[in-house]
Amino acid sequence: MARLGELERSVMDVLWSSDGWLTAREVAARLDHERDLAYTTVLTVLERLERKGFVRRQRAARAHRYAAADSREAVVAEAMMEALGTADDRGSALVRFVGSVSAEEAEILRRALEADPLSVVPPTAEPIGTSPTPGAAEGRDVGSTTPK
């Protein structure tokens, strides 16, 4: 998985907080940055995120609309697994990680190891790989995504 730069992460935050598909102009309007970003800059970042697999794109009238390809939690979990894969001693890395989490997080990990992981996902999170298609829950025609 490719890493996200500061601006890419800000764009993803906008998409993750959205209830559906957004145009590049809508993303640009929602970005909270110290400097004003040109629409073309936001469009370039969205296209780069699509190439990296973080964003899906669909044609909507004359503009494209964008949505996160997966949930924030799924991206974080994948990044954690990627980081763990770089350790010479995965066991030691896991022990250090577990030693740094809160008691509540440790309990979630304990339950996940003892049971079906999907049964211990906190109510505010989506299970990995189950990110719904934006707009589908509202019954809107979400169309198809552009192939990568």
Tell me what the mean pLDDT of segment 127-138 comes to. 44
- The predicted model gives 94-115 an average pLDDT of 90
What is the residue whose two structure tokens read 């924030």? 72
Instruction: Extract the tokens encoding 30.
Output: 């929602």
Averaged pLDDT score across all residues of the chain = 81
Alpha helices in the chain (DSSP H): 6-17, 24-30, 39-52, 72-85, 90-100, 103-114
**φ, ψ (nearest 5 deg) of residue 48:** -65, -40
7-11 CB contacts, 8 Å cutoff, 24+ apart: 7/33, 7/37, 7/41, 7/45, 8/45, 8/48, 8/49, 8/54, 11/42, 11/45, 11/46, 11/49
pLDDT in tens, 30-63: 997 767 888 899 999 999 999 999 999 998 888 8
Quick check: 69 and 29 in contact, CB under 8 A? no
pTM: 0.69
Contact (CB, 8 A) for 143 and 58: yes
Q: Quick one: DSSP state of residue 46?
A: H
Sequence-ordered list of residues with C-beta below 8 angstroms from that of 129, at least 6 positions apart, any chain: 70, 74
Tens of pLDDT, residue by residue over 57-76, are 998 888 899 999 999 999 99
Distance of alpha carbon 106 from the chain centroid: 23
